[in-house]
Structure 1
Amino acid sequence: MLSSVLRSLQSLTTHNNEHQECATPGSSTARDPRKQVLMSSTTFSGAGPSVGKRLNIDGDIPDPSHQLPALPSNLPPPNATYEHSTPPQIPKYINAYSLFLAGSIEMGAAITWQRHMAQFLHHLPLTICNPRRGHWDPDSRPQPSDANFRTQVEWELEALSNASVICFFFDVNTKSPVTMMELGLWAHSGKVIVCCGEGFWKGGNVKLVCERYGIPCVNDFAELVVEAKRMLKQKGLDAVTDEEIQRDEEWAKGIVARKARKEA
């Protein structure tokens, strides 16, 4: 099963090399960042408004598929020790537990699910490692010789290794090749949870890998919030209570049910 994901990634990379060579300014591909396929989740050229020579890859992105639920009005305030770390700053790990937000970035064209998840978890004594840094130098290239690129990738690899939980989210409107690669790397770790909604182009591969390795895999972001808290509690974070998980389960069921009624 893992090999099928890696074969898909290899095929996508080949396509991407051809795509990058033929895309020109003014073409339909160049105009629509959602049609651009990434060589790496850390290559953000062409996304978001620029600030000087830096591109904002963490701005507000439309969510046409309604993948993200509205934030509840009664979210608790941030915990005093909550830490939200983005590269290139090294996480301080002032908390015993950390969660890595693995998943779609796609040049900043993916929905900003990372910020959303962080707000659902910020009341916990937790370190969030979020690879979606605010801005990116468009002149950086996805090559080991590029200092910015190397710093980004090494930051991610180290944070993935240190994470208590790795939370994967596949935006259904992206290709997310590096996210699939990272899932393959960590599928056996026992610290992975996945959200892969209907419509993701390689959803079958993702779900079969999860099935093979016993990874919790859900279709909706609201359910991913529940799974994140559940696994953090399983890992020993006692600040997550059974009552909180039960309450969130009911909330997530309501979200999923409302979506189903709208689609019926």
Structure 2
Amino acid sequence: MTRDTVASASQSETSKEMGGNIFSKTKEEDAPKKFKQCPVCKADSVPINPGGLDGVVEDKYNQLIPAPSPPLKRHADFKHCVPPENPEYGNFSLFTAGSIEMGAAVQWQTRLVEHLCDLPITVTNPRRGAWDPTVNAKREDPQFFSQVEWELDALTNADVICYFFDCATVSPVTLMELGLWAHSGKIIVCCDQRYWRQGNVEIVCERYGIPYVSSFAKLVPALKEMMENKGLKLDKNGDYAGEPKAKKGTGERPGVKNVDRWWLKYRDTNEDRIAKGLKPLAELESS
């Protein structure tokens, strides 16, 4: 098979996944093209939970386990932080990376908090209750930029990052963040075999020695063991007994490096942006 044949076959498969010819033109030649169709369900956009990001979501595939009964006694030093407020960091922090899908994913973050609230830790959870679904997922949108920056800061500050892939979602951002932190040595992954890219996730975890489980029931004890391995030591009263850690600041953009951003000279010109149906840079800077 020639390289061109392989490329043609690849394009054909991609076209099928995206529900049509990826090279076909729109009926309105001058209209900006939108590439938002879900490759799994062929929907034009991700379904939005009418109850918001914290609305009730039915666990149709029985992915979660019940909350502890009776409820755990909340530790005095336990903090559950969501954007846009700055997290209150203590001696140990956990970031809940994983499926949100505009509120369509099961409420795994809340259930995890119910199983961990007796520990002296800070949980940073990007699943905020109030989110405007009309926010444009572009860098120039201030709300979107602030949300992504909050997540990047919290990911960097976390002692452990916990990934959960809801098998009924696509979760592209979770896949991206998994790749971003795969080499960090501080992540644990829960991915159900029914997730559409489960094979990719499992192979990545196997290759880089990332702790991996297939169910939420196994995630909870595995996560507790990993946090202990990463420095969460408790005394007989359940209080933090590990090495005191330096206070983590807020608004410092941790992990950001001052580098020569030489590639900026290759960014789109205003003519390029207008051709794509976007605002010129001058308008963005003044808005």
3-state secondary structure, aligned to 1:135: coil
Q: Determine which of 173, 177, 180 is the counterpart of 1:178.
A: 173
AA aligned to 2:168 is N
Retained in 1: the 8 A contact 2:100–2:127?
yes
Superimposed CA distance per residue, residues 18-40 of structure 1 (whole angstroms, 9 cap, x where no aligned partner): 3459xxxxxx947xxxxx44xxx
Task: Kindly indicate whether residue 91 of structure 2 is the aligned counterpart of residue 85 of structure 1.
Answer: no
3-state secondary structure, aligned to 2:201: helix
Structure 2 Cα separation of the partners of residues 15 and 176 of structure 1: 16
Task: Name the counterpart of 2:256.
Answer: none
Superimposed CA distance per residue, residues 88-135 of structure 1 (whole angstroms, 9 cap, x where no aligned partner): 111020x21000000000110000100000111110000000000001
Higher relative contact order (CA 8 A, sep 6+): 1
Taking a change above 3 Å as real, the CA distance of residues 240 and 214 of structure 1, as seen in their structure-2 partners, is farther
Q: Which runs of 5+ in 1 are unaligned?
A: 1-10, 22-27, 31-35, 38-44, 50-55, 242-264
Q: Determine which of 148, 157, 174 is the counterpart of 1:153.
A: 148
Q: Determine which of 47, 50, 53 is the counterpart of 1:48.
A: 50
Task: Kindly indicate whether residue 52 of structure 2 is the aligned counterpart of residue 64 of structure 1.
Answer: no
Taking a change above 3 Å as real, the CA distance of residues 20 and 226 of structure 1, as seen in their structure-2 partners, is same
Task: Name the counterpart of 1:138.
Answer: 133
Superimposed CA distance per residue, residues 17-62 of structure 1 (whole angstroms, 9 cap, x where no aligned partner): 53459xxxxxx947xxxxx44xxxxxxx73223xxxxxx2111100
Superimposed CA distance per residue, residues 40-86 of structure 1 (whole angstroms, 9 cap, x where no aligned partner): xxxxx73223xxxxxx2111100110000111213421100111000
Structure with greater helix share of residues: 1
AA aligned to 2:101 is E
Q: Which runs of 5+ in 2 are unaligned?
A: 1-13, 20-33, 237-287
1:179 Cα deviation (Å)? Answer: 0.2
Task: Name the counterpart of 2:266.
Answer: none
Q: Determine which of 216, 221, 234 is the counterpart of 2:216.
A: 221
Task: Kindly indicate whether residue 119 of structure 2 is the aligned counterpart of residue 115 of structure 1.
Answer: no
AA aligned to 1:83 is K
Retained in 2: the 8 A contact 1:232–1:240?
no
Task: Name the counterpart of 2:269.
Answer: none
Q: CA RMSD in A?
A: 2.3
1:207 Cα deviation (Å)? Answer: 0.2
- Structure number with greater Rg is 2
Retained in 1: the 8 A contact 2:37–2:43?
no
Task: Kindly indicate whether residue 168 of structure 2 is the aligned counterpart of residue 168 of structure 1.
Answer: no
